[in-house]
Structure 1
């Protein structure tokens, strides 16, 4: 009888642990200046991948503008690699950083780099970014990390809905770069089957994009934005294309949407036309 009571107490205490309760709640958009106090150097915490729900433990080892972290054990490294489909990648992913009763929206990349000190079968460290953090080289927030932080914080719709035409195009190309169906779907005018498209995109970046002052476009309902994009396509390598991205909105108060079908027709190397419509 006493053993049963003791087991029941353990089960109850585990089900009400701060970490479990934190994961159930929405993630806070805590800025880096505050997040770095929650996760000081050498602190341990849990990373939860937003899309898969898989989690692993890490330790922050360094980083002044963002957190340089390492998986805690070889088991944690294995879980992280599973999240990335068994292959290390620079792709950003939306995550929750959880410690005690704190659950903070964040973004990680999945590429080991630099030095590592733990016995975890992870050759280096990887980066975790929070709201208003930045890379080592630039002061402003990395665009892709920003999208993932807002995605983790449940604010992605708001970010995209308030984007200017230039921001919309930048977010749209980043959606290809990060192979993120949600970002592309939210920005697209029509439903699109992204799976056969994104599987071929290894990287994408804007090489040239004109400045279009938002105040000059306040009353416009359509805008054609010329852009030069540098792609890295599986099986083809580097492809540089000058194209136009067609933006539409039903009213000046509405969010800009991309005609993705027209974009894919103008860039046929991305996918076979028969696979575009759902």
Structure 2
């Protein structure tokens, strides 16, 4: 935790060397300066902090790159646009110079406040600024929903938790069905770190990684997960069979039933997906 905030201090000092002042985090201190805390704020509160036409800074959690944006619209999340062509260029660099719907953990900076958030990187809809960005993109916060639903997007939720340094705490409490949904998020967002956090270690890890690289998308419906019957809170191993839709680079669209073996060492330990057994499920029938 302390190293995370010390890294954040360095990033912020590099980004805002003139008008952003932070206190040094002492090695022996267990506290964090208030203006360095990343707040997990609900959308209902964020929308009042960032009303339409507000300009603010987005910091990418993974790379530390930052750019300026303006909120232009959005009822259940913020529809924003890069402020200038330079900001558009930086945003595209974050996405390896290719626009993408993939979600990324980001930190929103407004004045001296930091807020955990998630963004995607695909221009869509209308745009009004002379910034070289053909439309707008979406920034989600806790409780935000997508344009087409009244539910939180699972991938945005995971990225918000990641940005707020709350992912480990969340994963320690998820049930087997939620863990499977998190697995789908990790695959679809190409998040190797998240994948390693929810799978058991394996002597055949390289084979599994090669298999995963061939998958471009996996869909597991909530209805499928709700159908699964678990053995109660006192189980240490459960099998959850679900029908999944898979898109692969080699074979295109596939639909098959996969049984997830989910285990934990003790009743107070976190659930993990058995990597070896999942690998066998994926290659079965090939």
Determine the C-alpha separation between the residues in 2 that align with 1:240 and 1:23. 49
Determine the C-alpha separation between the residues in 2 that align with 1:181 and 1:102. 29
Which of 223, 229, 234 is equivalent to 2:249?
Answer: 234
Matched with 2:27 is: none
How much has 1:84 moved relative to structure 2?
Answer: 1.1
Matched with 1:112 is: 123
Determine the C-alpha separation between the residues in 2 that align with 1:23 and 1:85. 33
Name the CA shift for 1:23/1:233 in 2 (closer, same or farther; >3 Å): farther
The C-alpha deviation readout for 1:32-90, integer Å capped at 9, x for no partner, is 11111121101111111101111111110000100000111111111111111121111
Which of 140, 147, 156 is equivalent to 1:129?
Answer: 140
TM-score by length of 2: 0.82
DSSP-derived class of the 1:113 partner: coil
Matched with 1:100 is: 111
Determine the C-alpha separation between the residues in 2 that align with 1:234 and 1:111. 21
DSSP-derived class of the 1:95 partner: strand
Matched with 1:85 is: 96
How much has 1:16 moved relative to structure 2?
Answer: 5.5
Matched with 2:47 is: 36
Determine the C-alpha separation between the residues in 2 that align with 1:75 and 1:236. 40
- Given the alignment of the two structures, is residue 200 of structure 1 paired with residue 214 of structure 2, yes or no? yes
DSSP-derived class of the 2:120 partner: strand
Number of residues of Structure 1 aligned to a counterpart in Structure 2: 256
Of residues 188-197 and 203-212 in structure 1, the stretch that sits farther from structure 2 once superposed is 188-197
Determine the C-alpha separation between the residues in 2 that align with 1:266 and 1:232. 16
- Specify every segment of 5 or more residues in structure 1 that has no aligned partner in the other structure, as ranges: 1-10, 270-278
Which of 152, 175, 179 is equivalent to 1:168?
Answer: 179
Determine the C-alpha separation between the residues in 2 that align with 1:195 and 1:115. 39
Which of 55, 79, 88 is equivalent to 1:68?
Answer: 79
How much has 1:158 moved relative to structure 2?
Answer: 1.0
DSSP-derived class of the 1:163 partner: coil
- Cα contact 2:39–2:116 (8 A) shared by 1: yes
- Given the alignment of the two structures, is residue 266 of structure 1 paired with residue 281 of structure 2, yes or no? yes
Determine the C-alpha separation between the residues in 2 that align with 1:19 and 1:225. 50
- Cα contact 1:179–1:201 (8 A) shared by 2: no
DSSP-derived class of the 1:15 partner: coil
- Cα contact 1:165–1:212 (8 A) shared by 2: no
The CA RMSD over aligned residues, in Å, is 2.4
How much has 1:201 moved relative to structure 2?
Answer: 3.1
TM-score by length of 1: 0.84
- Specify every segment of 5 or more residues in structure 2 that has no aligned partner in the other structure, as ranges: 1-12, 24-32
DSSP-derived class of the 2:197 partner: helix
Name the CA shift for 1:85/1:196 in 2 (closer, same or farther; >3 Å): farther
DSSP-derived class of the 1:91 partner: strand
